[in-house]
Structure 1
Amino acid sequence: MKYAIRTVAFFFTILVFGAFVSAPLSGKLKRGFAALKEYNYFEAKKQFYKALKRDSVAAGYGLSVIYGRDDNPFYQIDSAFKFITLAATKYPELEAKTKADYTELGIDSMAISRQVNHVDSLFYNAASAKNTLSAWQYFVDFHKSQPYYDDAIEKRNEIAFHLAADTNTSAAYRNYVDQYPDADQIFEAGKRYNRLLYEEQTKEGRVLDFQRFIEENPESPYVSDAEYRVYEKATAPGTLEVYRQFIAENPTNENVNRAWRNIYALEVGELSARSIAAFSMRYPDYPFSDELKTDFQLATTRFYPIQENGLWGFIDDKGEVRIEPAYEWVEPFSESLASVGKNEKVAFINKAGQLITKFDFEDAYAFRSGYSVVVKNDLYGVINRLGKWIAEPVYQDVGEFSEGFFYAENEAGYGYLDENGNKVIDFYFENATDFKNGLAIVQKDGKYGIINTHGELISDFEYDWIEPFRTDRNPSRFKKGDLFGLVDQVGAVVVDSEYTHIGDFSEGLALAANNKTYGFINTKGDTIIDFKYTFSPAVLKFSTFQNGYVRIYQKDKVGVIDTADTKIFPAIFENIGEFSGKLIPVVKKDKWGYADLNVNLAIPYKFDEVGNFHDSVAVVSKNGLFGLIDTLGRTKVDFKYKSIVLIDSLMLVSDTAYGLIDMNENILVPFIYSNAEVIDKYIIRFENGENQGGDYYDLSQRKFLWRRKS
């Protein structure tokens, strides 16, 4: 796997398909994208699957588009994620000619990056609707797009911290520290854990209690206090004899040096050459060296890939080279380990630059939950963080570790392994998925069913499709023939296959369609909002509630209602943007403007594209070029850029090249780069050319952290 570079997505996720001209592209791809352009999803899906083996990037991209759009019955964000991940992983490996061919289909690194961001946004919206610890954890485990990833981590960590605080025991905080070592609250959680543990184990105040605490918790910051309590009680008389006895009985106590200093003071008295010489002869084991030894944990330091002279290494968040460029490629660190390549083989290194495995693998996936799936001799296996085999490489396929299981495939079919690599569910399925909320979807004789973690079938093989159980509350959709229904976590049918479409649940409601009309049902299948709205594939683009509101489609017009079916915006617009803030994007006569919350037109219809306002400005476009306006519709930045991405008070923009400017259009980074990527909330990576490394710009300091020498 080559180091994957995600480019910065435009403010809007727009899928554009290029014109189809004669080029050395497979007929399956051409037919697939032609069908997709015509919204013939069945034909497009069929053609892309046929092309997947030969053209995994283009076909994977096309399948992700299908699965990631909710205007078709194949809408399934897990599959959308799977196929765009395939495309993004394989794209850097393509030859230049193939990449050029793919541009005719509208596929390049930017298109792939936009689709990655789009898919991740779907998962982010699903997690936002639930706003539970498990929902955010699921998002963090599998989705890295910015700004969603950092925001999801912060929300997950905050919820988990409040749960630990409610319990307020050392065990609760220890669990938090173990699970979320990079959280903003980690220092506070660690501080509370250590304080409570110390108080709980030494509440009797006995020397024995303090000694036991020291022995059982050698890494605690309260060891110092506990050791001082032992020292204080043992040396209370203050004589040479008690200090000597303390040293003999407590050789590892940090106050041994304090005792030595007191012996020194008592023995030497006058600091003369003679007395010191005499003391040194009498006490040859007196410690003269400093004992202060503190290492700041490497795990708290961010690492970024760099390239010099064709080889890859890493710098830290201060711009210092921590791992010298010595590899043909590198992947970002995951769980403090990174895969690196040399001589077409893969190994893992730690943040000290030490190899934890040999270059034994043809491929390797990032560590997740302490495990990595690797490929050796074209077969899949699993290793742990020590580089030891958990499952030998004897399988045709292995999934990521999920809820205590790996799915795996051998000659007999799919089955499941536990965390020790032992077979726990027999290998006889035609296909299998990861366990989610204690359930997995499996296939037999072309039909799908549901099993639990004991391998017990809780729903017969009778479905043409079942979506994974993404939450422990909502039922999952299934399909029989051309109709959709709902099944719950015990395999009971909640809604029989009676709807032509069922959307994702959000805020407890899901769109349900009966041919030409649609309404909304709850998780029990009850109709909450009557089937009175006009159904078309277009409505599927905005079929989920957000913050209590959903856009509806009625007689070719779009409006907004709340969960009680109260009309917030009447259905008088051709389209409506995201319903948030005080000004809402609206469309009439194919032009965008903004309406206030009283449905008064606040900014006239004159833009080709618009976004929501942030900090009183919004990115909008005219005639294919982007600029900024304020809430009064006044132009703050002229319409002259091909793209604008707002980053706090800065703008990442492009015209003929990428650069960085402030709100006064002062140039911070010159327009000389062919690509740009927001790495995290601190760093932008600017690049020139494919696989040429990049220059890292520190947003907080507004200067380059590191620049390539060549």
Structure 2
Amino acid sequence: MKKSLCLFICAIFAVMTLAGCGNTGAETNKVKGGNVDTKVADSGKKSTEKDKTAPKYDLSFKKTNFKIKNPYISDGVFAVNFEDKTYNFSDLSGKLISKDNYLDVVAGFSEGYAFVVDKDKKGYYIDNKGKKVIETVKGEKIKMGDIFVKGVAKVFLNSNKEVSIDKSGKICPPIEKKYKGYNVAGNYYTDNKKYGLFDEKNNKPLTKLIYKNATRFVGNKALVVDMNDNLLLIYVKGDVIVNLSEKFPNIDIEDIDDISKDCFAVNFKDDTNSKILDLSGNVIAETEYSHIGKFEDGFANCEKGDKFGCIDKDGNEVIPAKYNNISNIYAEKNMHFALVQDGEVWSICTIKAGK
């Protein structure tokens, strides 16, 4: 499955579509990953395989009755919906955060808030405990609300007026920036087809629009695709660290993702043997996966054929690549969480570092 990255989010009210779900069950299976990879068979019996090279991770799986189409954990919760086409959010214990369901949850949680529409067709923002936090703007009700980005969200009021608000509900300047008609986002400016490097501090371009695609900068480094279809690892002013297309001729320039603070993955056109690289472009690990996603807090989703799992930044398998679907890997309180789908059953997976 290709996961091509588009950096600049231009669609403001992207709606997350979710499939039906019910209340969670309470079953929890504890397994070991890493040094002892314990697999739970269909019968529920455990088989053990030794892997002396991988670090130990303790995994536990809590089965739910949720049916989730677009799994994503943010702010410690994830969106679910029911057969009557209403929605709610579950926390990581499998408990719904609100006693009442919603007609819509729009785009889920970001920066602690989510915009919802209740059964009375009233729209407002809630926190991740289900508490209403922004119901009106200058006394006017909100028709539709975007996610918060850097403390700012765009909303449409009942009068159809469009404004930007901060997290206290006060009107504030929009987060979008322009330069001579171009959109500016971080270290780039764009016409939504091509990208150039931009100096935000001095409000001026550093290059012309010379890239077909680009990832966000982490520190002073990012990935870009030039007009000759070369995937380049660059510094913030455009100096090339390494031409990855020359180093790996079969690299897939349409299957790239953001780098992390210490590594990133590259994927290939034949969907085999994705690699993990350091921020100089050197290989950390060769893998057998067809796709590796973005590393966050040391973990990334991986794909083998049509099955999904999770690995760490050294290429060690954490969650076996045997699941039908998997969410992002979410970090909280020195633990990591993921939603995994086995057949029709979704489970909440908790990952702890082993001793």
Higher strand fraction (1 or 2): 2
**Structure of higher RCO (CA pairs closer than 8 Å, 6+ residues apart):** 2
Higher helix fraction (1 or 2): 1
The TM-score with structure 1 as length reference comes to 0.28
The TM-score with structure 2 as length reference comes to 0.50
The structure number with the bigger radius of gyration is: 1
